[in-house]
Amino acid sequence: MAHTVSIIGLQSIGLIEPGDNVSKKICEAADSENVKLLDDDVIVVSQKIVSKAEGELVDISTIKPGAKARAVAKRTKKSSQLLELILRDSAKILRVEKRTIIVKRKDGLICLNAGVDKSNVNGATIYARLPRNADRSAQKLRAELEQLSGRKIAVIIADTYSRPSRLGQVEFAIGISGIDPVIDYRGKRDLFGYELKFKYVAIADEIAAAAELVMGQGTEAIPVAIIRGLSRLQRTDKAGLSKKLSLGRQKDLFRRIL
């Protein structure tokens, strides 16, 4: 028999406002859509609704930009207020172009605009920042969802990322709770008994990418997907799991060659 994994997009979550209880809304939506949570389900939640629920929304019209933000803004098509917001989460600016700033965030992530984003946020001058600590947000969601459902589940918070040397964006796992983000095949055997030397699968990123297949980016309004039927999950209760996926420069084989 075929081995099937299901990506189940919840369509009745509705809009999320600051202070909303996301886990309760997930359970209610799952109930009303006849999708009971099961053991080993991985619940993928879009970064945007976590940021909204945690109140990480900023009205940039209230921001007084500093000298650096004003200077950088001149080299772009962005306002100095938006630049000020981006700089607040940035440790270092890596590139400035008309429409794009690439930074290394204070938490180590290299990404566009420090993750500050306008899409699906209401109000012409309101922008969402990333959750303060997405692993902690994932841990909280998991604890609540396990409590509400009585099931052992995992949670991944997913966000959209541009990639070096590859066109288009995919979802990455930026907050993780309950499963190891990578599967280490090194030392395992292949079909013919030979040792696998270099296989270290970023399963959390693959799960996030799979979830996007139902979640979409625009008016689809599916901010939560349940990934069901995965057979290779390695459960863990460790904290700070997403850090494992973010390579420091010394460990990055592609450093200085692109």
Checking phi first, is residue 33 left (phi over 0); if not, alpha (psi -120 to 50) or beta? alpha
Q: What angle do CA 87, 88, 90 make, to 5 degrees?
A: 60
**Structure tokens belonging to residue 97:** 């172009």
Binding residue (CB under 8 A) for a second copy from 62, 218, 237, 250: 218
Binding residue (CB under 8 A) for a second copy from 133, 148, 206, 236: 206
Q: How many CB atoms lie within 10 A of CB 39?
A: 10
Residues in region 128-157 near a second copy by CB under 8 A: none
Task: Based on the shown chain and the rule CB under 8 A, indicate whether residue 57 belongs to the binding site for a second copy.
Answer: no
Binding residue (CB under 8 A) for a second copy from 57, 121, 143, 148: 121
Binding residue (CB under 8 A) for a second copy from 118, 136, 151, 152: 118
Contact segment (CB under 8 A) with a second copy among 62-70, 129-137, 143-151, 186-194 equals: 186-194
Question: How many Cα atoms are found within 13 Å in the side-chain-facing hemisphere of 84?
Answer: 14
Checking phi first, is residue 63 left (phi over 0); if not, alpha (psi -120 to 50) or beta? beta
Q: Which CB, 62 or 122, lies closer to a second copy?
A: 122
- Number of residues in contact with a second copy under rule CB under 8 A: 90
**Structure tokens belonging to residue 122:** 């209401």
Q: Which CB, 66 or 188, lies closer to a second copy?
A: 188
Q: How far apart are CA 50 and CA 243, in angstroms?
A: 18
Structural contact between residues 245 and 204, judged by C-beta atoms closer than 8 angstroms: yes
Residue 208: name the closest of 257, 246, 158, 258 by CA. 158
Looking up tokens 């991944």, which residue turns up? 156
Task: Based on the shown chain and the rule CB under 8 A, indicate whether residue 97 belongs to the binding site for a second copy.
Answer: yes
Angle, helices 22-32 vs 134-149, to 10°: value is: 50
Task: Based on the shown chain and the rule CB under 8 A, indicate whether residue 230 belongs to the binding site for a second copy.
Answer: yes
Binding residue (CB under 8 A) for a second copy from 75, 163, 235, 238: 163
Report, in Å, the least distance between residue 69 CB and a second copy.
20
Task: Based on the shown chain and the rule CB under 8 A, indicate whether residue 107 belongs to the binding site for a second copy.
Answer: no
Report, in Å, the least distance between residue 212 CB and a second copy.
5
Task: Based on the shown chain and the rule CB under 8 A, indicate whether residue 34 belongs to the binding site for a second copy.
Answer: yes
Report, in Å, the least distance between residue 66 CB and a second copy.
23
Binding residue (CB under 8 A) for a second copy from 189, 234, 238, 239: 189
